């Protein structure tokens, strides 16, 4: 699974530009699903199993997009000003490299760096230096970089014992969990009609999951996404740590998980001896919120993968948690599910 994760996290694909990721995932899931479609928003929908009177239609969502940036202005010297795609953290940007779709690499720098060492920089104080990447063509229509061009962060995946460090674990790790669960279901068999939705534009407002949920019309929704941890120096006050298992969401900034859905996950983890922990996230949310509020409402929850340093280029996960998330999802989908629909 580590090689799959490395392939996914190193791929280029900011929100709105997920087409390269979609092609990668299509290759990975060939032969693992009964039907594969692309919805009008660009989400990849993979169906496993068939709906009957005695089972559920389940939507499993993992978003393909990553945070990034977009060129907003090119000055006469060829330096690029930019705006955010998703939740950039300005204090983490200086010195990072970014990559444009055409392969041009740039370095993010901040104005007057040495005179502002103790100031918290704002986004409009940064620029991208592509050096010779513009080939002297800055400011004309033949330049390799134009206003409106998106860029993603450029960083390889590192293995540190049982942990992986990379950009875009949010949410390529969720995509990896979904793919590996599909592999397990190929062996175990799915008891339900499951739609694995590899969604777009989550980082800019859950824009892909809601239309996907409208199209699928599920009985149950499950998101796969990262969550912060409380196990770092002066970290968040939360009961989630690396290496302790899959994080079963109780609530976050956008949703309260229905008790029946939470208990389904807890009972499954207990029955199959899968390590787990409970997640309460004070801010932020996932595709589960969009699924929950689609149509007339869908009982929804989230299996979260603990991740340090979310929305930086060094997002860190532990393979114990990743494997536990795969096992929990596969166990749920390969067994009967009862009691999640409101009476």
What positions carry a catalytic annotation? Answer: 202
The CB density around residue 154, as the number of other CB atoms within 10 Å, is: 17
Q: Structure tokens of 115?
A: 């005179």
Task: Compute the distance between CA of residue 212 and CA of residue 209 in angstroms, rounded to an integer.
Answer: 5
Task: Compute the distance between CA of residue 277 and CA of residue 242 in angstroms, rounded to an integer.
Answer: 10
């Amino acid at each position: 699974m580590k090689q799959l994760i490395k392939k996914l996290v190193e791929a280029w694909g900011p929100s709105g530009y997920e087409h390269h990721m979609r092609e990668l995932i299509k290759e990975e899931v060939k032969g693992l699903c009964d039907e594969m479609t692309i919805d009008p928003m660009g989400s990849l929908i993979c169906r496993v199993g068939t709906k009957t009177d005695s089972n559920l239609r389940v939507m499993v969502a993992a978003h393909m997009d990553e945070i990034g940036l977009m060129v907003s202005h090119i000055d006469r010297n060829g330096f690029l000003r930019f705006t955010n795609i998703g939740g950039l953290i300005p204090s983490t940007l200086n010195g990072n490299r970014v990559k444009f779709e055409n392969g041009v690499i740039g370095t993010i720098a901040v104005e007057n760096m040495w005179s502002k060492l103790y100031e918290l920089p704002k986004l409009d104080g940064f620029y991208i230096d592509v050096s010779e990447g513009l080939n002297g063509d800055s400011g004309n229509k033949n330049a390799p970089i134009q206003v409106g061009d998106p860029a993603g962060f450029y960083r390889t995946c590192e293995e540190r014992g049982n942990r992986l460090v990379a950009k875009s674990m949010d949410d390529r790790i969720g995509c990896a969990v979904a793919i590996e669960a599909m592999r397990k279901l190929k062996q175990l068999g799915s008891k339900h009609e499951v739609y694995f939705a590899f969604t777009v534009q989550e980082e800019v407002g859950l824009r892909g999951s809601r239309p996907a949920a409208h199209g699928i019309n599920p009985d149950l929704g499950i998101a796969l996404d990262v969550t912060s941890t409380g196990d770092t120096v002066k970290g968040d006050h939360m009961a989630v740590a690396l290496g302790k298992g899959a994080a079963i969401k109780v609530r976050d900034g956008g949703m309260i998980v229905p008790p029946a859905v939470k208990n389904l996950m807890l009972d499954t983890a207990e029955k199959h001896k899968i390590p787990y922990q409970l997640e309460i996230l004070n801010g932020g949310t996932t595709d589960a919120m969009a699924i929950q509020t689609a149509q007339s409402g869908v009982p929804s929850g989230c299996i979260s993968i603990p991740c340090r340093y979310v929305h930086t280029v060094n997002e860190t996960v532990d393979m114990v948690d990743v494997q536990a998330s795969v096992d929990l999802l596969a166990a749920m989908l390969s067994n009967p599910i009862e009691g999640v629909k409101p009476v």
